[in-house]
Amino acid sequence: MTRILTIACYGDLPTGWVPCISWPLPELGDGKAEDAPMLVPIGPQQWELRVAVRGAAADSCLTACVPGMRPLQFPDFNLGRGYQPLPPSVRWIYTLGPVLHPAATDVYYYSGWQSVRLRVIDGQDVRDFPLAGVGPGRTREETLWHVCLPTEDFTRRWGFLLLGPHDEVDRPPDGTLYRPLASCVYLADGELFPSPPPPIRSAPRVETMTVHAAALEHTFVMHVVLPRDYDVVADRVFPVVILNDGQNQFTDRGMWGGWHTDSTAAWLMRAGRMQDTVLVAIEMHPNRNRAYLPRGDARTPEGQAADYTDFLADQVLPQLRSCYRVASEPGTTAIVGSSNGAIHALFAGLHRPQTFSLVGCLSYARLQPEQNFMALEHLTEVPLQRVYLDSGTRRGEHDPDGSSDDHALVTARLREMLLQRGLMLEQGLRYHLAYGDAHNEGAWRRRMPSCLEFLLPSA
């Protein structure tokens, strides 16, 4: 089940400190003080946080909460140190709202076993569920098995494996647990599908095309990654993710070996954690800042982020839809970038929110002046459906003492502004402070799974 937890805090804190609350729930730091979510200011000496939490144990977990405060200053913030208990003079309260979405997950399983049970593992909690045969499988030797799991009782940690009549075990290929996000999945040969798998399969494939942008005086190279079974399931349309810095997005290509976004997305789709999606990796403009930064930034006063965004919305997406089965409905187009590409991703969402309502920002850099922040300040409500936001804590790999920065405090301030304007943690916004991560493709590769599965979760 999903419920809204509202936490409020009142009183005097030392200058430069912010209250935070740690609970043994994944959405609330999993009991780690350095990951405890920060509250956001709503008035003089008043803070609040709304976060969507899952699991029947939420009520009991609240009794184990640890209120505290942490410093908003460099480098203590980046190093996760300085956490202290809240002063006794500071009061805090919480309310846990009613169930929003009673949840269940239908699992269908193709197997030649004579009986099957499913074992759910959710932290320390282990439960077995028998499956019932509901029809023939893909061959005469198979049966299609089914169970409806009460996932409203499970936290975000939950996963499962399957056991045969003699305790044979079916785990995913990586040897861990199946952890689908969808409300209905079909499991066959270690792969999860949103509907019965097609009898003939097709692997993901890449096509390359070019589109000229007159305003930017450049012909952009685009690599279109079509998802599994695109060629054999002709009645489906697919959401799309626009990837900035497309020259670095593919496995073992580009700087630091690339982001591996193609193989990461393919794995998330097979694992039932992301919708089957078309990826569009667009190689950067020769003058990267010119395309990604808005006009007036100190580094690139002639920045053309608005022109580039309009080019994506008015030329690239229509051309994609004329060539491929790409969805056009609201909430089906995401844009993801890192560093200056993250600046552009947020700019695109604020400039054309009807088109780019799903935004992924990894290691958001910094504008001078901060025009995205100024745009948000004029809004009472964020016109975006989902935003993923993260940062590392150091600029380079060789920085053991935290003397450099990945704009962690700037990113935390952006989180605050988004939450103040209506987004809710773990419903409209996911935020991650990656302690020790540097500003490079290797770090973004590690964090990309969380970004993609949050922006485009399986239905």
Strands 358-362 and 333-338: parallel
State whether the Cα torsion 284-274-198-233 is positive or negative: negative
Which of 312, 292, 262 is closest to 448 using CA atoms? 262
pLDDT confidence of residue 255: 82
Amino acid present at 304: Q
State whether the Cα torsion 191-194-197-203 is positive or negative: negative
Amino acid present at 44: P
φ/ψ of residue 293, rounded to 5: -105, 145
* DSSP codes of every residue in 13-40: --TTEEEEEE-SSGGGGGG-GGGPPBPE
* Buried b or exposed e, range 85-99, using 16+ CB within 10 angstroms: ebeeebebeeeeeee
The structure tokens 């999903």 sit at 2
- The tokens of 139 are what? 């061959």
pLDDT confidence of residue 256: 80
Q: Tell me the three state secondary structure of residue 452.
A: helix
Q: What is the per-residue pLDDT across 2-47, written as a single tens digit (0 to 9) for each?
A: 889 999 999 999 999 999 998 888 999 998 999 999 999 999 999 9
- The tokens of 392 are what? 């590392």
> Which segments in the chain show pLDDT lower than 70?
1, 57-62
Q: What is the per-residue pLDDT across 170-181, written as a single tens digit (0 to 9) for each?
A: 999 999 999 999
pLDDT confidence of residue 380: 95
Which of 363, 421, 368, 412 is closest to 392 using CA atoms? 363
- The tokens of 134 are what? 């509901």
CA atoms of 60 and 31, how far apart (whole Å): 14
pLDDT confidence of residue 1: 67
pLDDT confidence of residue 23: 86
Amino acid present at 91: R
CA atoms of 87 and 66, how far apart (whole Å): 12
